[in-house]
Amino acid sequence: MAANRRRISRSSPRTDAKLMTILSIDGGGIRGIVPATILTFLEQELQKLDGPQARIADYFDVIAGTSTGGIVAAMLTTPAQNGRPIPAHKITKFYFEEGPKIFSNEARLATQQTEGWRKREPDQGFFSNLLSNIATAGAQIMSSLRAPEYDGLHLRRKVKEIVGDTLLADTLTNVVIPAYDMQNLRPIIFSTQQAKHNMSDVRLENVVISTSSTPYYFPLSKFAADGNQHFLVDGGIAANNPTLLGIREAAKILQRENASGFSQPDYSNFLVLSLGTGSAKKQPDGHQIGSGGLLDWLFSFEQGLSPLFDVMFRASDDMVDIYTSLIMGNYNSQQKYLRIQDYEMKAHEVKTDDASPVNLMRLEEIGKDLLNRPVSMAHPDTGLPDAQDFSTKNRDVLTR
């Protein structure tokens, strides 16, 4: 990939014969350390070829990221004090240092104090006090159920430190980051090229916080920009794997830069690297959902995760693989579409908010291990990942 990309001149007008390079990074909370580890390796290999100043953003026309992937995309493309993005290894460091603070007990929203309940008086008697305590406890439980798990304040502070007042239009390469619009109940796709075209005043900080505002975990993201008031939540609701959004954005770039006589891009000239954050290992007998009631679907006591959400996200990711293979063509997708994903994670490893030191180190090891696994290419019939039976490893493909 590196060698191919180095032969492309960014200043040359693009046509449908030019190679378009796309990086896609999934959502997954603290599991973002997995793609960050892979990107650290890739950048180090690029630096061996092009020098210590080489950065991931120099080699990709489009970087798409959802939720935690949006954070990574922003860190890869935000100009630092010297006008260059931070090295990829500092993104891994970010997860190790800031993850425990973002998902800490201190960051949990304290149960709101209940008001209006009858105050307990010393002489009310045992049963009156008991009823009062039950009512207060019930109100506190209801209050906690209505509040997100974490306040998100540390996350916002760190994102602000990293991206500052950078506008979406000013990233060092094109980014595309989805969120979900709770007012209009539709996906909203933020992109650098669209922001430039519209002379948008949307700040990258607000885009990153919006795509990371996971329901239940973090508060809704609210901000005003371009004359509109936005109420947004996690982009993973619409596109946890944003590969297709990256392909769509690359096609739009070609269309905009080659408007005269341009019809359809040649997808055989698209080179796509898609990085997952891990998925739970398939159960031998599938998900055991008991009688199929609400509790059975929302939580598996044996596996420790939600069958409903695990199935939904896995199905969504599989559909992205199928559509990508369809768009690019089976042969092209086998040659120029690399999806690196771990489908063998244990239930406790797929938690999005387990930022314990042990789990962080485990996730980093999973990322390193993925580099040594056989390449997984799209099956020509199904479009789904199919591990090849030859010895090529992900790390070998990344450095070709």
The Cα–Cα gap between 166 and 204 comes to 6
The alpha carbon of residue 157 and the mean position of all alpha carbons in its chain are separated, in whole angstroms, by 19
Q: Within 10 Å of residue 50's Cβ, how many Cβ atoms?
A: 15
The Cα–Cα gap between 4 and 23 comes to 14
Beta strands 228-234; 174-181: pairing state: antiparallel
Catalytic one of 24, 26, 67, 300 = 67
The Cα–Cα gap between 188 and 134 comes to 44
- Please answer whether residues 173 and 63 qualify as being in contact, where contact means their C-beta atoms are separated by less than 8 angstroms: yes
The Cα–Cα gap between 375 and 399 comes to 13
**Helix ranges restricted to H, 151-241:** 153-163, 192-198, 204-211, 236-239
User: Which distant-in-sequence residues (6+ apart) come within 8 Å of 262 by Cβ?
Assistant: 16, 254, 255
Q: Within 10 Å of residue 305's Cβ, how many Cβ atoms?
A: 17
Catalytic one of 24, 61, 213, 234 = 234
The Cα–Cα gap between 354 and 99 comes to 9
Is 234 among the catalytic positions? yes
Q: Which amino acid is at 118?
A: R
Is 151 among the catalytic positions? no
Residues labelled catalytic:
67, 234
